[in-house]
A and B are shown apart, each in its own frame.
Chain A
């Protein structure tokens, strides 16, 4: 403890020391942020430089020909959109509803604590394990065969824990006092959820969903055994068809096709990232619009 200051507004040694320490920490945090965005920029830069040349309308809108060496990736692009859409249609409602139950209705007891533990563990299961589960459960047991449905169900099972955790966290960020004020007026739990809790947690829930879009689009292992194929000349007509997918197509063009032009796999990767960024931008714009409307 420094001695008392004789002049009121003159900084003591302790003040100077505190300020130096503060500056050092700011520098540290800033450098870490820089470190964080470096790989992002390098990856994007590499992809644009090496794969940019491959991008053309033909590349985007035609099927591969000559054993992947020429032509485009349209079936894979369309397949990924199918897979992501069906997977989210399954996992987002179920995940959000389950999270609402766990956060707003279920009490804090050993049963819900077990469920919460199970969800967190499920989120940590490697995707190849989900792939084997999907193969056993959806492809073989439920006899969906290798299909968009089986692959999307596998992806949904994989993403659901994260949706649940993100939703639960944002629901619990709504102050309890708001709920109690509402209950005191005679509102039921559902009325409280609909009018107070959900409007104020929806942006957080969307953040969780956005993260899952990227993950769903990029995963390769879970769809390899359950619905995505190396090559098919047909575009999927329904959820019971097999499909090509961008992530698997990237793996294939990068490792399985001899004599392919270098820019093709980079081009595929660039399209995959572009697709994810587009999907994310839409949901981020939606979130910003919502956030502009509601705030406490």
Chain B
């Protein structure tokens, strides 16, 4: 397939000057509508390779719709219409022949954990199997690596063949993260991943994300502004379907903002 060739990641082993790297994801004039209601209006942003890009904002800001548009999940949502341009690795995602190649390169973690009704092992081995990996030894390695990275291995290594859907909520969320990692994604999108996870585990996963940024680009949608501050290199503030501001995360938190609403939101004075 032409698509998979073009979608393959650019090899970026060194970390060159940020501006020299071509954007991993480039969004031009993105507008998302559900029927007549506008969920997101005229968003322009570009996400660099190996950066953690935070998106903060209250409910109904259009954060989740944005993620859906990126990996073309809009086709599964009735009434959802996407206009504008989203370029992933330089390729317009609205004009792909094969959306499966695109989605398989993008790992997504939802706010609520979705442990598929199969064993822990099968949950993580599913994506490699979809890619055609059949050999048990190879799958074993992938499963252990992904579960370890998601900070879940120690808790489940003795019950890999128990049902994934019977794990606790926090464990299922880490299972979901392990599953996303098993795709060996080029881009990882986390949508408020810490809602169902306890603070200690959250910190462990955050450490994992800091490690992962060496290999993947991460979009982190979060309700916790402090989480964005801890992790994100740059952060966008979405409000009511509008991208109010994009800036270096530390600037947003030290008050170097262009828009007063951003300052109010990060300082918790919103109303």
B71 at the interface (CB under 8 A from A): yes
A3 at the interface (CB under 8 A from B): no
Task: Given A185-B126, A186-B101, A186-B104, decide whether A296 and B117 contact each other with a Cβ distance below 8 A.
Answer: yes
Q: Is the CB of A178 within 8 A of B114?
A: yes
Interface flags for B174-204 (1: CB within 8 Å of A; 0: not) read 0010011001000000000000000000000
Find B100's partner among A107, A108, A187 (CB 8 Å cutoff). A187
Find B130's partner among A181, A191, A296 (CB 8 Å cutoff). A191
Q: Is the CB of B116 within 8 A of A178?
A: yes
- Closest beta carbon of chain B to A265's beta carbon, Å: 49
CA distance A295 to B162 in the complex (A): 11
Q: Is the CB of B116 within 8 A of A181?
A: yes
B103 at the interface (CB under 8 A from A): yes
- Closest beta carbon of chain B to A183's beta carbon, Å: 6
Within 8 A of B (CB), among A177-228: 177-178, 180-188, 191, 195-196, 199-200
B18 at the interface (CB under 8 A from A): no
Within 8 A of B (CB), among A29-47: none
A294 at the interface (CB under 8 A from B): yes
Closest to A174 in B: B117
B160 at the interface (CB under 8 A from A): no
User: Chain B: interface residue count, which band?
Assistant: 20 to 34
Taking chain A's interface residues, is the majority helix, strand, or loop, or is none over half, making it mixed? Answer: helix
CA distance A187 to B127 in the complex (A): 8
Q: Which of A181, A294, A295 has the most CB of B within 10 A?
A: A181
B34 at the interface (CB under 8 A from A): no
B248 at the interface (CB under 8 A from A): no
Q: Is the CB of A187 within 8 A of B130?
A: yes
Q: Is the CB of B76 within 8 A of A181?
A: no
5 further A-B contacts with Cβ under 8 Å, apart from A195-B118, A200-B117, are A177-B112, A181-B179, A186-B130, A196-B118, A295-B163
Which A residues fall within an 8 A CB radius of B?
A: 107-108, 177-178, 180-188, 191, 195-196, 199-200, 294-296
Q: Could you list 30 examples of A-B contacts with CB < 8 Å?
A: A107-B78, A108-B78, A177-B114, A178-B116, A178-B117, A180-B114, A181-B110, A181-B179, A182-B116, A182-B126, A183-B76, A183-B103, A184-B71, A184-B73, A184-B103, A185-B107, A185-B126, A185-B130, A185-B179, A185-B183, A186-B102, A186-B105, A186-B127, A187-B126, A195-B118, A196-B118, A199-B118, A200-B117, A296-B115, A296-B165
Closest 5 CB pairs of A and B: A186-B104, A296-B117, A186-B103, A296-B165, A181-B114
